[in-house]
A and B are shown apart, each in its own frame.
Chain A
Amino acid sequence: MDKIYAHPGSLRNTTTHYCPGCGHGIAHKLVCQVIDELAIRESVIAIAPVGCAVLAYDYWDFDCTEAAHGRALAVATAIKRVRPQNIVFTYQGDGDLAAIGTNETIHAANRGENLTVIFINNAVYGMTGGQMAPTTLAGQKTATTPLGRDVKIQGYPLKISELLTQLPGVCYVERVSLQSPTEIIKAKKAIKLAFENQINKAGFSLVEVLSPCPTYWGLSPVKSMAWIKDVMSKEFPLGRIK
Chain B
Amino acid sequence: MAKITIDKEKCKGCFLCVGVCPKARIKAEKTLNKKGVNPVTFEDKGDCLGCSFCAIICPDCCIEVYK
Contacts and interface: CB of A to CB of B under 8 A. Distances in A.
Asked whether the complex places CB atoms of A and B closer than 8 A, the reply is yes
Contacts of A3: 64-66
Interface in B8-62: 10, 12-16, 18-20, 35, 37, 50-53, 55-61
Given A1-B1, A3-B65, A15-B10, A221 B60 contact: no
B64 A222 contact: no
The range of chain B's interface size is 20 to 34
The range of chain A's interface size is 20 to 34
Nearest to A1: B66
Interface in A167-189: 178, 180-181, 184-185
Interface stretch (A16-24, A130-138, A229-237): A16-24
B16 to A, nearest CB: 5
Interface in A1-22: 1-8, 11, 13, 15-16, 18-22
Contacts of A214: 14
A8 B63 CA distance: 12
B19 A222 contact: yes
Interface of B: 1-3, 10, 12-16, 18-20, 35, 37, 50-53, 55-61, 63-67
23 contacts: A1-B3, A1-B66, A4-B66, A5-B56, A6-B64, A16-B60, A18-B59, A18-B60, A19-B12, A20-B12, A21-B14, A25-B58, A25-B59, A25-B60, A26-B58, A178-B57, A181-B51, A181-B53, A181-B56, A214-B14, A220-B15, A221-B16, A225-B16
